[in-house]
Each structure stands twice: as structure tokens, then as C-alpha cells.
Amino acid sequence: MQQPVRKAIFPVGGLGTRFLPATKALPKEMLPIVDMPLIEYAVQEAMAAGIEEFIFVTGRGKSAIEDHFDRHFELETTLSERGKTEALELVLQSTPKPGRIAYVRQGEPLGLGHAVWCARRFVGNEPFAVLLADDLIMSDPPTLARMVEVYEERGGNVISLMEVPSEHTSRYGIVEPGDDDGRIVDVQGLVEKPRPESAPSNLAIVGRYILQPDIMDYLSLGSLGTGNEIQLTDSMIKLIGNHPFHGLRLTGTRFDCGTKIGFLEANVAYALGRNDLDGDARSSIAAILEAF
Ligand code: UTP
């Protein structure tokens, strides 16, 4: 039996420069998709996968995230007194149980690998998940739960993959595939942001990972990679060979909410997917398309 995946890291220390000026004082991860912040979709996905401990790697100006996942007694009392039970339930659902949530400061946004390394003392010697909130995945069953299933069957490391157009490989970490049964790919190598002519495939890493704790040893070397950042991919490469390394093909739809268009698409898709908004959303979009 595998050691269970009980902990998840949420790296939220980035600057969110592609969303300025919105992200000058507001964390990118607090931007809402319809009416829920991006980070809460990620936390709910982790909860659905059985995660019990939530570790946020934060930075300057990110305190709204801490407040969001805390109790808000004044608001709860007011909602309760006004009989707004549905709203009260929504407020309470975003609060993990006491003592299950931890925050660590990254200090300087030196890259995703550095952010994950900053959580090392909270992770200890256990396998852990990493979720990037700006990679929003609409999938049933949710992506991390599917990955945990693969991990429980096969152990090792598990990452989530999607096919991208060949001309876009330089935007992603790309997998060198071995055996591939159409669902699970054996990962033989990884390259961060290769140009199309040197990419070993068009299978790209999406922001969901289950990793073995020895990755922290490699991250602690602090080697700079592509873009002069400490890349997570560079240390994942070193895990290949130490443990089995699986890539699970994504099901559903992934929205890159780190880009303006991806964020817009997610808002439209999630509104259309909601029973309470679907009809109105459709007619509003049709009217806008006609008017502009
Ligand atoms: P991005 O590459 O999207 O960077 O990070 P960013 O700073 O958030 O946004 P842009 O590119 O300036 O617009 C992917 C994820 O990794 C986290 C981010 O918060 C985001 O969730 N991250 C990135 C960190 O936590 N620390 C870092 O040093 C870099």
C-alpha cells in the first residue's frame, strides 16, 4: 500500500503581472470565476481528493487569501440573523477545519520550484500534492481525485497532462513519453518550455502534481533554470528513475486563468454550466455578440 497523499501545497506567491492593474493589491488567486475565487476551486478540488492539510505559499499583498479561508464571525452572525442560510453555508464551506491550514511566506518570487521548496517543513517525509489555482479544470470526477487513484494503484509521482498544439510547446513543461495506454503515459523525460523543433512530444504538464518528498533535496540546490527562475520541472527530472513517474491525461476542460482570454473563457463556461445562471447567461452572451 502507498503512503497516503494527505497534504497539498498551493503556491500563491507569484506577482500576477499579466493581470495588472487588477493584481496590484488583490492576489490573482482571489479573482472570481462567476462568484467564487480561483483559489477556492483549487481547495475544493483538493478536499474532493481527500486532502487533509492545506499549505499556502504566499507573498506580499496576499493576506486576502488568509482572510478568505478564516472564520468571519460578524458576517456569519449577520447572515444568520437575516435568515440567509444559503449564503451562510457558502461562507462556511470555504473554511477548512481549525489547524488544517498553514501559510508560509516565499519572501521573493524566485519561481514555482522555490515556492514548493518553501513548504518543505510542512510537508516532511510524505508524498504531497501541488495545485496551481490559475490552472482551472472543469472535470467530473475532479482531476486531483483521478490522480490520487492512479497514485494508489501505481505509486511514485503523478502529473496531469494535456495535448497542446505543437507551436505552443514553448509555453509549457513537455513530457518525453514512454509507454502510453491512451490514459496513462510513462514519463521518461521532461523539458521546460522547449521550442517546437526540439520538443519530445506535444504532451504538456498542467498545474497538478503528486510528488515524492525527495524532490525537496533537489529543489534545495536552488539551481536556476528557464527564465532565470527555480523551476519545478528541473527537479522533477531528477526524480525520474528514483520512482515510477506517471502522466495522467486530463479529462474535461482546462482554462488557463493566468491569461486574460483563459480567465474570460472560464467565466463564460462556468456561468453556462450553472443551473441558476445558464438561461440568462446564454441570452446575455447572444445580446453582447450582436451589439459589439
Ligand atoms: P505564473 O507563472 O502564472 O506567475 O505562476 P505569476 O507571477 O503568478 O503570474 P504572471 O506570469 O506574472 O502573470 C504559476 C503559479 O505559481 C505561483 C503563482 O502564484 C501561480 O499560482 N508562483 C510562481 C509562486 O507561488 N511563486 C513564484 O515565485 C512563481
Rounded to whole angstroms, the Cα distance separating 88 from 115 reads 33
The Cα angle at residue 190 between residues 201 and 112, in degrees rounded to 5: 125
Residue to mutate (ligand 1; options 10, 23, 106, 112; most atoms within 8 A of CB):
112
Q: Is the CB of 17 under 6 A from ligand 1?
A: yes
Question: Ligand 1 pocket: which of 15, 40, 219 to mutate (most atoms <8 Å of CB)?
Answer: 15
Q: Is the CB of 113 under 6 A from ligand 1?
A: no
Residue 227 phi/psi, 5-degree rounding, is 70, 15
> Mutation test of ligand 1: which of 31, 41, 132, 171 has the most ligand atoms closer than 8 Å to its C-beta?
132
Per-residue pLDDT at 225 exceeds 90: no
pLDDT attached to residue 97:
85
Question: Which atom of ligand 1 is nearest the CA belonging to 19?
Answer: 13
Question: Domains, the chain, ranges and CATH?
Answer: 7-258 (3.90.550.10), 260-292 (no CATH)
Closest ligand 1 atom to residue 133 Cα is 21
In terms of pTM, does the model score above 0.85?
Answer: yes
Task: Give me ligand 1 centre to Cα 107, in Å.
Answer: 13
State the closest ligand 1 atom to the C-alpha of 109, by its place in the atom list counted from 1: 28
The residue whose C-alpha atom lies closest to atom 9 belonging to ligand 1 is 16
133 Cβ below 6 A of ligand 1: yes
Atom of ligand 1 nearest to the CA of 134: 21
Q: Span 23-48, mean pLDDT?
A: 95
**Taking residues 14-25, what's their average pLDDT?**
92
Query: Residue 139 and residue 146: Cα distance in Å, rounded?
Result: 10
The pLDDT of residue 134 is above 90: yes
Q: Please, which pLDDT band fits residue 223 given cuts at 50, 70 and 90?
A: confident
Is the CB of 12 within 6 Å of ligand 1? yes
Average pLDDT over residues 124-133: 97
Residue 151 has pLDDT above 90, yes or no: yes
* Predicted local confidence at residue 278, as pLDDT: 84
119-128, 177-186, 200-209, 226-235: segment of lowest average pLDDT:
226-235
Amino acid at 10: F
